[in-house]
C-alpha cells in the first residue's frame, strides 16, 4: 500500500490519510550559502499536516486502477490500512512510510513527522565565487553617499600614503638603561673600591 501511496503523492503533490493527516509536497527555493560560497539548488520536500483528513476519492480511484480491482474494494483496503496506521500511532509505535518519512505520536498526543528527504538530492550545489574585474567601474554606497569604485580606490590610496609607520625604538631605550647601569656600577667601584 505504501508504494502506491508514495506514487500518488508524487503525481498529485498531496495525499490524505483519514484519521492521520495530509501529506503534501512543498517546493523549497534555491538558497545562497555565503559561508561556503555555493548556491544550494531548489528542492522538493514532503511535509505533513495532522488535520482531520477525509477520504481522498482520487486516491481510491487510483488504487482501484493500479491494483485492477473495483473502487469499493479499493476504499475498503485503504480504510483498513488507515485504521492500522492510526492504531499503531495510538500505541505510540513509530510508523515508517518508506520514501515518505516516519510518523510518531508524543505522550501529549501530537503527531511528529520526519521527512525522508528522498526528493531533495536531484541537483548539486553551484559554486558562487564573486567575480572581480580590476578595471571595471561600479557604484559603492558609502554611508549615505554613492561613490564609484575609482573614487574609493583614490581615497584609500591617499589614506595609505598619509599614514606614517611609526618605528619602534625600544631597543634604544634598553641600551641607554644598560649604559647607565654599567656607569653606576663603575662609579660605585671607583668610590668604594669593592662590594663591601
pLDDT surpassing 90 at residue 26 = no
Average confidence (pLDDT) over 104-111: 78
Top pLDDT among 117 and 108 is at 108
pLDDT surpassing 90 at residue 43 = no
Under the phi-then-psi rule, with left for phi > 0, alpha for psi from -120 to 50, and beta for the rest, what region is 92?
left
pLDDT surpassing 70 at residue 164 = no
Under the phi-then-psi rule, with left for phi > 0, alpha for psi from -120 to 50, and beta for the rest, what region is 19?
left
Amino acid 176: pLDDT = 95
Q: What are residue 15's DSSP bridge partners?
A: 23
Average confidence (pLDDT) over 25-38: 84
Confidence of residue 79 (pLDDT cuts 50, 70, 90): confident
Top pLDDT among 45 and 158 is at 45
Q: Return the CA Rg of the chain.
A: 38
Amino acid 114: pLDDT = 78
pLDDT surpassing 70 at residue 194 = no
Amino acid 162: pLDDT = 62
- Cell 663603575, residue located: 186
Confidence of residue 161 (pLDDT cuts 50, 70, 90): low
**pLDDT tens profile 169-183:** 888 999 999 999 999
Q: What are residue 146's DSSP bridge partners?
A: 141
The span from the CA of 38 to the CA of 36, in Å, is 6
Residue 104 near residue 112 (C-beta atoms within 8 A): yes
pLDDT surpassing 60 at residue 69 = yes
H or E element at residue 115: strand 111-115
Q: If DSSP codes are grouped into helix, strand and coil, which group holds residue 61?
A: helix
- Torsion angle in degrees (nearest 10) through CA of 79, 81, 86, 89: -170
- Average pLDDT value for the chain: 79
- Spatial CA neighbour of 83 closest among 138, 1, 168, 177: 1
**pLDDT tens profile 111-126:** 777 777 665 566 777 8
Most distant CA atoms of the chain, gap in Å: 125
pLDDT surpassing 80 at residue 55 = no
DSSP at 125 = P
Average confidence (pLDDT) over 154-167: 69
Number of Cβ atoms within 10 Å of the Cβ of 121: 9
Amino acid 48: pLDDT = 82
Amino acid at each position: 500500500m505504501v508504494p502506491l501511496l508514495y506514487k500518488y503523492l508524487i503525481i498529485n503533490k498531496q495525499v490524505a490519510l483519514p484519521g492521520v493527516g495530509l501529506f503534501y509536497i512543498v517546493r523549497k527555493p534555491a538558497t545562497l550559502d555565503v559561508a561556503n560560497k555555493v548556491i544550494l539548488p531548489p528542492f522538493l520536500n514532503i511535509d505533513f499536516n495532522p488535520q482531520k483528513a477525509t477520504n481522498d476519492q482520487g486516491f481510491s480511484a487510483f488504487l482501484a486502477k493500479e491494483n485492477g480491482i473495483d473502487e469499493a474494494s479499493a476504499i475498503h483496503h485503504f480504510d483498513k490500512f488507515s485504521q492500522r496506521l492510526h492504531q499503531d500511532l495510538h500505541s505510540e509505535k513509530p510508523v515508517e512510510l518508506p520514501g515518505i518519512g516516519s510518523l510518531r505520536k508524543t505522550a501529549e498526543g501530537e503527531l511528529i513527522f520526519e521527512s525522508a528527504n528522498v526528493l531533495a538530492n536531484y541537483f548539486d550545489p553551484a559554486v558562487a565565487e564573486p567575480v572581480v574585474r580590476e578595471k571595471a567601474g561600479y557604484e559603492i554606497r558609502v554611508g549615505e553617499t554613492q561613490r564609484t569604485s575609482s573614487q574609493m580606490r583614490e581615497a584609500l590610496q591617499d589614506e595609505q600614503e598619509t599614514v606614517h609607520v611609526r618605528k619602534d625604538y625600544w631597543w634604544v631605550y634598553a641600551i641607554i638603561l644598560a649604559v647607565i647601569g654599567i656607569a653606576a656600577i663603575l662609579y660605585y667601584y671607583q668610590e668604594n673600591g669593592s662590594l663591601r
